[in-house]
Amino acid sequence: MDHRAPILITGASQRIGLYCAQRLLDEGQPVIVSYRREREGLDILRQRGAITLHADFSDNAGIFAFIERIKAHTDQLRAIVHNASDWHADEAGQQAAAFQHMFQVHMQAPYLINLHCAGLLRHGGAADIVHISDDVTHKGSRKHIAYAASKAGLENLTLSFAADLAPAIKVNGIAPALIQFNPQDDDEYRRRALAKSALGIEPGPQVIYQALRYLLDTPYVTGTTLAVNGGRHLI
Ligand SMILES: NC(=O)C1=CN([C@@H]2O[C@H](COP(=O)(O)OP(=O)(O)OC[C@H]3O[C@@H](n4cnc5c(N)ncnc54)[C@H](OP(=O)(O)O)[C@@H]3O)[C@@H](O)[C@H]2O)C=CC1
Ligand SMILES: Nc1nc2c(c(=O)[nH]1)N=C([C@H](O)[C@@H](O)CO)CN2
């Protein structure tokens, strides 16, 4: 692996984040990932030379502890990909805690990490921040009110940080719709979810890596959120 500055992906112990970390490693790109719970994917990354740092963004102490861990492991970053996310429906009696939690993970963590780690991106070369939001921000969600609102806030952080950090650092977003089902999703849920987009497929995590690769490679895009949504807005 060469001595390029590492790319940080948060929440990359499974699914989309793990896939993107693997693809970056395939290209010889050094990678640092955050994880909350130990998962088997982390051993794969460790065996390939990735640095894995524990992080729980549920409170500010956890976020600041993670920022310190990053700085203890590197003095430069090529990019920061804010992928970590909790996806819970709004539960009766739990709304206040749920909204606070969604805010912590989807807004407070990216906000504080960007503020405190932007200096690691200022090394004279290409530098990027990428926020992974959700296509649902455009219409809201009756069952995931707190989640959708926090992802909308994340998309607004893209605009503010892009203006503030230009031209040294590009700041963009990726807004997925259905990318990858969860194991517990039953056949009826899957049928209904697939019917919500014009292209009607479960594409898998490679489409997010393709969007990430584009944002990392282009020198002329900032403040933009790419919709990777199968044409969901057309239905
Ligand atoms: N999958 C899809 O179809 C879609 C995904 N997206 C977005 O794409 C991104 C990747 O999706 P996906 O791979 O499914 O994500 P996951 O649901 O697998 O979550 C990614 C990781 O985030 C970590 N995480 C959750 N809460 C916290 C926390 N409090 N502190 C630190 N880490 C935490 C989880 O850790 P742990 O392992 O401990 O649970 C998990 O491994 C997310 O931002 C998601 O919102 C948007 C639309 C569709
Ligand atoms: N953190 C997560 N966010 C989201 C997930 C997920 O699994 N983890 N999944 C979705 C769904 O795919 C939804 O887009 C369609 O069912 C949304 N966000």
pLDDT confidence bin for 1, thresholds 50/70/90 = very low
- Ligand 1 atom closest to residue 56's alpha carbon, by position in its atom list: 30
Check residue 17 and report its DSSP letter: H
Residue 220 CA to ligand 1 centre (angstroms): 28
pLDDT confidence bin for 48, thresholds 50/70/90 = very high
Instruction: Examine residue 84 and state whether it is found in any structural domain, yes or no.
Output: yes
Instruction: Examine residue 127 and state whether it is found in any structural domain, yes or no.
Output: yes
Instruction: Examine residue 78 and state whether it is found in any structural domain, yes or no.
Output: yes
Instruction: Examine residue 1 and state whether it is found in any structural domain, yes or no.
Output: no
Instruction: Give the CATH number for residue 205.
Output: 3.40.50.720
Per-residue confidence (pLDDT) for residue 30, from 0 to 100: 98
Instruction: Examine residue 2 and state whether it is found in any structural domain, yes or no.
Output: no
Q: What is the mean pLDDT of the chain?
A: 97
Per-residue confidence (pLDDT) for residue 2, from 0 to 100: 54
Helices (H), the chain: 15-26, 40-47, 60-73, 95-103, 109-121, 145-165, 187-194, 206-217
Instruction: Examine residue 192 and state whether it is found in any structural domain, yes or no.
Output: yes
Per-residue confidence (pLDDT) for residue 88, from 0 to 100: 84
Domain span holding position 22: 7-234
Per-residue confidence (pLDDT) for residue 89, from 0 to 100: 87
Q: In Å, how far are 101, 115, 169, 201 from 216, measured between CA atoms?
A: 29, 20, 11, 26
Instruction: Examine residue 154 and state whether it is found in any structural domain, yes or no.
Output: yes
The count of domains in the chain is 1
Q: Report, as an integer, the average pLDDT of 110-123.
A: 98
173 lines ligand 1 (CB under 6 A): no
Q: In Å, how far are 69, 70, 219 from 32, measured between CA atoms?
A: 11, 8, 23
128 lines ligand 1 (CB under 6 A): no
Residue 134 CA to ligand 2 centre (angstroms): 8
Q: Quick check: 203 pLDDT over 90?
A: yes
pLDDT single digits (tens) 65-99: 999 999 999 999 999 999 999 998 888 988 999 99
Residue 178 CA to ligand 2 centre (angstroms): 7
Per-residue confidence (pLDDT) for residue 3, from 0 to 100: 75
Of 174, 166, 163, 234, give the one whose Cα is nearest residue 209: 174
Annotated catalytic residues are: 147
pLDDT single digits (tens) 171-193: 999 999 999 999 999 999 999 99
Q: Look up residue 45 and give its two tokens.
A: 């990354």
Instruction: Examine residue 103 and state whether it is found in any structural domain, yes or no.
Output: yes
Question: Hey, what amino acid is at 138?
Answer: H
Q: Report, as an integer, the average pLDDT of 106-123.
A: 98
Q: Report, as an integer, the average pLDDT of 131-153.
A: 97
178 lines ligand 1 (CB under 6 A): yes
